A and B are shown apart, each in its own frame.
Chain A
Amino acid sequence: MMNILVCDDDREIVEAIEIYLVQEGYHVIKAYDGEQAIRALKQNEIHLLILDVMMPKLDGIHATLKIREYSSIPIIMLSAKSEDADKILGLNIGADDYVTKPFNPLELVARVKSQLRRYTKLGNLNVENNAVFRAGGLVINDDTKEVTVDDEPVRLTPIEYNILLLLVKNQGRVFSIDQIYESIWEEEAIGADNTVAVHIRHIREKIEINPKEPRYLKVVWGVGYKIEKQD
C-alpha cells in the first residue's frame, strides 16, 4: 500500500485528488498547508507528496526546501502559476514534477504512477543487455522489440518503433525530418511530406502522459526532434 500525501489549501481539490488516487488503490493522507504537510510527513511513512505552491502559513516552495533537507521522496508540485519561470523554479528547488492547474486528474494520476515506479524500481535495475536502450523511464528492448514507459508496455508500429529506436540510440541529438526519413526509409527525402511529423506525433501520443508537454520525445521547433537525455 502506497501512502500519498496530498497538500492543498483548497479542500475540494484535495478531495477530488483523493477520490482518483483511492480508485487507483493508493492510501491518501491529507494536509491543508505546508506545516501540516511537514508534520504529516514526519508522522507517517509517505511515498509521494503532491504539494500546492500557494498555501497559507508555509508555501510549497519553502516546504519543499525543508523536506529536501532530509527526504528524497518524489514531490509533484501543483500550481496555478503556469509561467516557465515558475516551473523552472519549482523543479530546481527539488520538485520531481510540476503540474499546472487546472489539471487533467487522469494526467496527474499517470504522473503519480510514473514517479512512484521510478522511485521504487530505480534501485534494482536489470542486468544491462546490449540490446536494451533506456532514456529515463523509457526502455526499448531491441531483441524483443518491446517498448515500456515506466514499466507500462507501449504498442508501436514498426516505423514508429524504428524512429523511436533511432532517437533513443542517439539521445540528445536532434534529427531533422529529412534525416529521420533518410535513415528509416533509406531513400532520399525529396519533397518529404509530413509523414515523419505525423509518426512523431503518434509516438508522442503513445509514450507521453501529456503529448503537449512531452517528457521524452521533444520537438525542437523549426529544427527537428530528439529524445531528451535523461539522468
Chain B
Amino acid sequence: MKKKQEMGKTRRAFQTILHRLFIAAAVVIIVALACNSTVTVENNGKVYRQNIALKKQGSFEDSTLFYDIFREELDGITRMVVIKSQLETDGSYNGAKEVDIAQYAHRNEEFSETGATARYLLDDLIKWGNYGLVTESVYATQAELDSYFATGSSPFFMQNDLTAGDWKQQSESTRAMLAQSVNEQEEETLSMRMIAQLPSSREEYLRMAESLGKYVEEDDILRLDILVPRYLSAEGLDLAEYASDTAEYVKLREDLRITSKDLFYNFTEYSGQKNYYAASATNVRYCYRLAVNGEICYFSNVEGDFNGKKIDEITQKFSDYGKYVYYNADRSEIHTNTHIGADLMKTVIGSYQYAFGDNTRVWLAVDGSYPAVDGFSVAREAYNRLIPYYLYLAGAAVIFLLLSLLSLIRLTRFEGRVATQEGYQIALRREDRMPTEPFVLLGALSFAAVLAAGYAGYSFFLSAWEDALHSLWLPCCAGVLALFGDYVFLFFYLSLVRRGKAHTLWKNSLLRWVLQRLRRGFLSLYDHSHILVRAMIPFVLLLALNLILGGSGVFGILSAAVMDVAAILLLYREKTNLGEIVESARRIGGGDFSLKIDAQKMHGENRTLADAVNGIGDGIKTAVEQSMKDERLKADLITNVSHDIKTPLTSIINFVNLLKREEIQDERIRSYIDVLDSKSQRLKQLTDDLVEASKISSGNISLQMERINFAELVNQTCGEFADKFRERCLEIVRNMPEKPVYIEADSRRIWRVVENLFSNACKYALEGTRVYLEIRTIREGEREFAIFSMKNISAQALNIPADELTERFIRGDISRSSEGSGLGLSIAKNLTELQKGKFEIYLDGDLFKVLLTFPCLEEGRESL
C-alpha cells in the first residue's frame, strides 16, 4: 500500500498542537526541577543554596545538603561553646569571673611568654570594651618614665599635689575622671599621677626643663600613651602598677585593649545567639566536655547532668537521637553514623585549640524527629518534596522532549507538501516570500522577546512572592510561555523548512540579491566598456594589487595568490569561450550553418564576437535555405508549366499526325505539315528537358547507385547510336581498355549523361569526320579514376567560352537554329556532378572535347 505523501490540514494542526503540548510539558517539568533543585536554607543568619539535583542521593540524612548544614552547625556550635566557656560558669553568665588579660590576649599563641599580667573582672572588661579605652599622651625621657614605673615617682617632677597641677592640657573626660578619683579615692593611682605630673607636649616639656635648669636633647623626649584607669584590676590596682618598666606597660596596655575588645565582641554574639542553639530552637543536640581553668566542664543543650557519667553512656544517649557524632579530641577518634570525618572535627576543634585542652570530648546528634524549625527541617522538607520523584520527572521530561522531537520531525517531513495527482508538490505561504535574512532576524527577535518575557516574569515572581521558587505557579507559567514560544518557533522554523524544500532559502535571500546586483553591475560595466579598457584596467589593477599585497606580509601574499588564481580562472574561462567561438566559426565556414554558439554565458568582446558569428551563420543559413527554396519553387513552377503545355501539345501532335495521314498531294502543304511535325516534336523535347534540367539543378532527384562497367556502358551507347552516326557519316574511333572499368553510378542517369554527349556529337559534329572515344584509368594518390573522353570536330565555329556551353539555354550561337533544347550539356554536367563525377569541356578551335572523370571502384569491392 502506498503511504500517504502529504499531511492534511487537520493532521498538521493536530501534529502542531501535539508538539506544543509536548514542549510545554517538558518545559514545565524542567522548570519545576530546576527551581526545586536548589534548596535555599537560611541558617544562623546565613543564606546559602545547595544544588541537590544532579547527584545521586538517598535519604536526606545521607545527602550532601545534610552534611553541609551539619558542618555549618558544627562550626557555629563549637564557637558558641568556646564563647560560653569564656563567659559562663555552670551554665550561666558570670560577670565576676576573673580574666587574665595576658593569657586571653595571647590565647591563640602556642607558646605565650610569661611576664607581667593582670586579672580583671569579666564585667569590667566587657564594659571597657563597650565604652572604649581612653589614653592621654605624656612626654618624658626614658629614664624619667622608667623611674615612674619602678618607684612610682620621678625625681624631677615631684608635684604630689594633684589639685595644684596644670590640667589645662588634659581632655574634659580625663579631668572629670581625675576630679572623681581625687574626690572618691584616698589613694591616687599611678596612671593619674603620671598624667597629672608629666607635660602633655614636647614644647611644654622643654619649657619645664629650661625652667628647672636642665638640658635635655630634643631627641631623647619620648611620648607615652597612658591609659586612663576607668576600672581597676580584680586586686584593685591600676594597670601601671603591674608594670616594672615602660615596655611592660605598653605590653599590658595592648593586652588589655585586645582582651576587652574580643570579650565585648564575644559577649554581643553570646547575648544575641545564646538561645539559637537551645534545644527548642535547633534539632542539633550537642555536648562538649572540656577543661576550663583545669576544671572539667560540660556544655550542652540537652537537659541532664553529665558530670560523672561515663563516656559510653553519653554516646548511647546521643546515638538514640539518630545521626550522631562522638569525637575524642585527644586521639582524633570519631564514632559516627554520618559522613562527618575525624579530619573535619579536628579542623573545627583545632581552630579553637586554646579552649579545648586535654580531655576534650564532643558529642553531636541531630534529632531524627526534627521537633524544631531550623536549617535541617527546612532543607529536609525541600529535599523530600522533590528528590523521591526526581528521576521519574527527569525521565518524563526526556520522554516529552523526545516526543516533541518526533512530532517536529514528522512536521518537518510533511511540511509544505500539497497533494497533486502525481503525488505532491511544495506550496509556499505568504510569509515565505519575505527575504530570508530579515525573516530569520525577525524570528530570532521574536524568540528572544519570548525569552525576555519569561525572564521578566520570573524576576517579577521572585520579587513579588517569597516562596515563588518552590511554588507550582512558576512551572505552569513557564509552560504557558513555552506554548507561546513554540508557536513562534514553529511559525519561523516551518517557514524555513518550506523555503528549504522549495529551494527559495538562498534564492530569496538578501545576500543573494546583493551579490547578484553586484555581479550584474560589474558585468554591465564590463560589457559596456571599451575593449582596451576592459583588458588594460584589470591587468593594471591586478599588477598594482599584487605589488601592494606582495609587500605586506604573509597574509598579503596569500590573498594576492588567491586573487591571482581567481584572475587565472577568469582568463581561462574567457579563453575557453574564445576557443569555442573560433571552433564554431571554423565549422560554420565548413558548411555547418545551423551551428549556434551559446552567447548567453559569455561577456564582453566574446559576447559581441559570438553574436556576430551567430549572425553570420544565420545569414548564410537563411540565404542557403532561401536559394534552395527558390530553386525548388522554380523546378516546381517549370514542372507545372510543362504539364500545362503538354496537354495542348498532345492535341497538336495528334492532329498533325492525322494531317500527315491524309493523302495530301500539294507539296507545299506537306512541307508545312512537316514543319509543324518537327516543331511540335521539338517542343515536346524541350518541355521534357526543361523539367529534367530544373529538377537536376535543384537536386530534387534520388539516385540509386550501383556498380557500373563504364566501358560496357560506352559500348552499349555506341550500339544505340551506331545507325545515327552512320547516317551522318561519322566514324567512331574507340580506345577502350580490355579490363572492365567499374565505377559507382545510377545506371539510368549515367546513361542519360553519355546519351546526351553522343546525341550532342551526332547533332553538332562536322559530317564525315571522326569521333574519338577513349576510356583510361589514372591513379592519383590512393584513388584510381576512370576518365572518359570524347573528341569531335564541331560543324560550326565555337565562338563562346567552354563553360558557357553547360549553362542552361546556352549553345553556340549558330547551333541554336538546329534541333535540341540546348539543355543537353547542362543536364549532363549536373547529373555527372550529382554522381560525384567531373564534367569538363575543352574547346580548341573546332575541336570539341569532353572529359568525364569518375572515381573507380576498387576490384573486389561491391560498392563504396
Determine whether the beta carbon of B723 is less than 8 Å from that of A198.
yes
Determine whether the beta carbon of B722 is less than 8 Å from that of A16.
no
Interface residues of B in 643-672 (CB under 8 A from A): 643-644, 646-655, 657-658
Interface residues of B in 519-551 (CB under 8 A from A): none
Q: Mark B102-131, 1 if CB is under 8 A from A, else 0.
A: 000000000000000000000000000000
Q: Mark A182-199, 1 if CB is under 8 A from B, else 0.
A: 000000001111111111
Determine whether the beta carbon of A196 is less than 8 Å from that of B719.
yes
Q: Does A221 contact B (CB under 8 A)?
A: yes
Q: Mark B683-713, 1 if CB is under 8 A from A, else 0.
A: 0100010010000000000000000111011
Bound Cα distance from A222 to B747, whole angstroms:
7
Determine whether the beta carbon of A194 is less than 8 Å from that of B722.
yes
Q: Does A220 contact B (CB under 8 A)?
A: yes
CB nearest to B684 among chain A residues: A102
Q: Does A103 contact B (CB under 8 A)?
A: yes
Given contacts A222-B712, A222-B747, A223-B709, contact A194 B718 (CB under 8 A): yes
Name A222's contact: one of B684, B719, B751 (CB within 8 Å). Answer: B751
Q: How close is B511's CB to chain A, nearest CB, in angstroms?
A: 68
Name B653's contact: one of A104, A190, A193, A199 (CB within 8 Å). Answer: A104
Q: How close is B615's CB to chain A, nearest CB, in angstroms?
A: 40
CB nearest to A178 among chain B residues: B712
Chain A residue numbers with a CB within 8 Å of B751 are 219, 221-222
Name A176's contact: one of B688, B709, B722 (CB within 8 Å). Answer: B709
Name A219's contact: one of B642, B654, B655, B716 (CB within 8 Å). Answer: B716
Given contacts A105-B657, A220-B747, A221-B716, contact A10 B722 (CB under 8 A): no
Q: Mark A90-110, 1 if CB is under 8 A from B, else 0.
A: 000000000001111110000
Chain A residue numbers with a CB within 8 Å of B734 are 193
Determine whether the beta carbon of A197 is less than 8 Å from that of B647.
no
Q: Does A82 contact B (CB under 8 A)?
A: yes
Q: Does A122 contact B (CB under 8 A)?
A: no
Q: How close is B680's CB to chain A, nearest CB, in angstroms?
A: 8
Name B748's contact: one of A102, A190, A193, A221 (CB within 8 Å). Answer: A221
Name A16's contact: one of B649, B655, B710 (CB within 8 Å). Answer: B655
Given contacts A17-B654, A220-B747, contact A201 B646 (CB under 8 A): no
Determine whether the beta carbon of B654 is less than 8 Å from that of A13.
yes
How many residues from A make CB contacts under 8 Å with B? Answer: 37
Q: Does B750 contact A (CB under 8 A)?
A: yes
Chain A residue numbers with a CB within 8 Å of B747 are 220-223
Q: Does A159 contact B (CB under 8 A)?
A: no
Given contacts A101-B646, A176-B709, A177-B716, contact A222 B750 (CB under 8 A): yes
Q: Mark A1-33, 1 if CB is under 8 A from B, else 0.
A: 000000000101100110110000000000000
Bound Cα distance from A198 to B722, whole angstroms:
7
Q: Does B720 contact A (CB under 8 A)?
A: yes
Name B651's contact: one of A13, A201, A222 (CB within 8 Å). Answer: A13
Q: Does A224 contact B (CB under 8 A)?
A: yes
Bound Cα distance from A13 to B658, whole angstroms:
12
CB nearest to A54 among chain B residues: B643
Determine whether the beta carbon of B718 is less than 8 Å from that of A222.
no
Q: Does B379 contact A (CB under 8 A)?
A: no
Chain B residue numbers with a CB within 8 Å of A227 are none
Secondary structure call for the B interface: helix
Q: Mark A103-135, 1 if CB is under 8 A from B, else 0.
A: 111100000000000000000000000000000
Bound Cα distance from A201 to B718, whole angstroms:
10
Q: Does A206 contact B (CB under 8 A)?
A: no
Given contacts A176-B709, A221-B713, contact A197 B650 (CB under 8 A): no
CB nearest to B745 among chain A residues: A222
Given contacts A177-B715, A197-B715, A222-B751, contact A16 B709 (CB under 8 A): no
Q: How close is B785's CB to chain A, nearest CB, in angstroms?
A: 16
Q: How close is B427's CB to chain A, nearest CB, in angstroms?
A: 59
Q: Does A80 contact B (CB under 8 A)?
A: yes
Determine whether the beta carbon of B651 is less than 8 Å from that of A197.
no
Chain A residue numbers with a CB within 8 Å of B655 are 12, 16
Determine whether the beta carbon of A222 is less than 8 Å from that of B716.
yes
Determine whether the beta carbon of B712 is less than 8 Å from that of A80.
no
Name A101's contact: one of B650, B691, B709 (CB within 8 Å). Answer: B650
Chain A residue numbers with a CB within 8 Å of B750 are 221-222
CB nearest to A17 among chain B residues: B654
Bound Cα distance from A65 to B552, whole angstroms:
96
Q: Does A75 contact B (CB under 8 A)?
A: no
Q: How close is A167's CB to chain B, nearest CB, in angstroms?
A: 14
Bound Cα distance from A192 to B734, whole angstroms:
11
Bound Cα distance from A103 to B710, whole angstroms:
32
Q: Mark A129-164, 1 if CB is under 8 A from B, else 0.
A: 000000000000000000000000000000000000
CB nearest to A12 among chain B residues: B651
Chain B residue numbers with a CB within 8 Å of A177 are 712, 715-716
Chain B residue numbers with a CB within 8 Å of A224 are 712
Chain B residue numbers with a CB within 8 Å of A200 are 716, 719
Q: Does A81 contact B (CB under 8 A)?
A: yes
Chain A residue numbers with a CB within 8 Å of B658 are 16, 19-20, 105
Interface residues of B in 727-758 (CB under 8 A from A): 732, 734, 736, 738, 745, 747-748, 750-751
Determine whether the beta carbon of B719 is less than 8 Å from that of A80.
no
Determine whether the beta carbon of A201 is less than 8 Å from that of B723.
yes
Chain B residue numbers with a CB within 8 Å of A19 are 658
CB nearest to B642 among chain A residues: A80
Bound Cα distance from A222 to B775, whole angstroms:
13
Name A82's contact: one of B652, B691, B717 (CB within 8 Å). Answer: B691
Determine whether the beta carbon of B688 is less than 8 Å from that of A82.
yes
Given contacts A104-B653, A222-B745, A222-B750, contact A80 B646 (CB under 8 A): yes
Bound Cα distance from A133 to B461, whole angstroms:
129
Chain A residue numbers with a CB within 8 Å of B648 are 10
Bound Cα distance from A221 to B711, whole angstroms:
10
Interface residues of A in 192-231 (CB under 8 A from B): 192-201, 219-224
CB nearest to B747 among chain A residues: A221
Determine whether the beta carbon of A102 is less than 8 Å from that of B657.
no
Chain B residue numbers with a CB within 8 Å of A13 are 647, 650-651, 654
CB nearest to A225 among chain B residues: B716
Determine whether the beta carbon of A201 is less than 8 Å from that of B643.
no
Bound Cα distance from A101 to B683, whole angstroms:
12
Chain B residue numbers with a CB within 8 Å of A221 are 708, 713, 716, 747-748, 750-751
CB nearest to A10 among chain B residues: B647
Bound Cα distance from A104 to B661, whole angstroms:
13
Given contacts A19-B658, A222-B750, A223-B747, contact A194 B651 (CB under 8 A): no
Bound Cα distance from A106 to B661, whole angstroms:
11
Q: How close is B645's CB to chain A, nearest CB, in angstroms?
A: 8
Determine whether the beta carbon of A197 is less than 8 Å from that of B709.
no
Bound Cα distance from A195 to B644, whole angstroms:
42
Q: How close is B776's CB to chain A, nearest CB, in angstroms?
A: 15
Bound Cα distance from A98 to B687, whole angstroms:
19
Chain A residue numbers with a CB within 8 Å of B748 are 221
Determine whether the beta carbon of A222 is less than 8 Å from that of B650.
no
Q: How close is B485's CB to chain A, nearest CB, in angstroms?
A: 84
CB nearest to A100 among chain B residues: B646
Chain B residue numbers with a CB within 8 Å of A80 are 642-644, 646-647, 650
Interface residues of B in 629-645 (CB under 8 A from A): 642-644
Bound Cα distance from A17 to B718, whole angstroms:
36
Chain A residue numbers with a CB within 8 Å of B736 are 191
Bound Cα distance from A166 to B652, whole angstroms:
42
Q: How close is B759's CB to chain A, nearest CB, in angstroms?
A: 12
15 A-B pairs with C-beta separation under 8 A: A10-B651, A81-B643, A82-B688, A101-B647, A102-B653, A102-B684, A194-B719, A196-B719, A197-B715, A197-B719, A197-B720, A200-B716, A221-B708, A221-B747, A222-B750
Q: Which 7 A-B pairs have the closest CB atoms?
A: A197-B719, A222-B708, A16-B654, A222-B713, A221-B751, A194-B718, A80-B646
A10-B650, A177-B715, A193-B734 given; 16 more Cβ-contact pairs under 8 Å = A13-B647, A13-B651, A16-B654, A80-B644, A101-B647, A105-B653, A177-B712, A193-B715, A196-B719, A197-B716, A197-B719, A198-B719, A200-B716, A219-B751, A222-B750, A223-B747
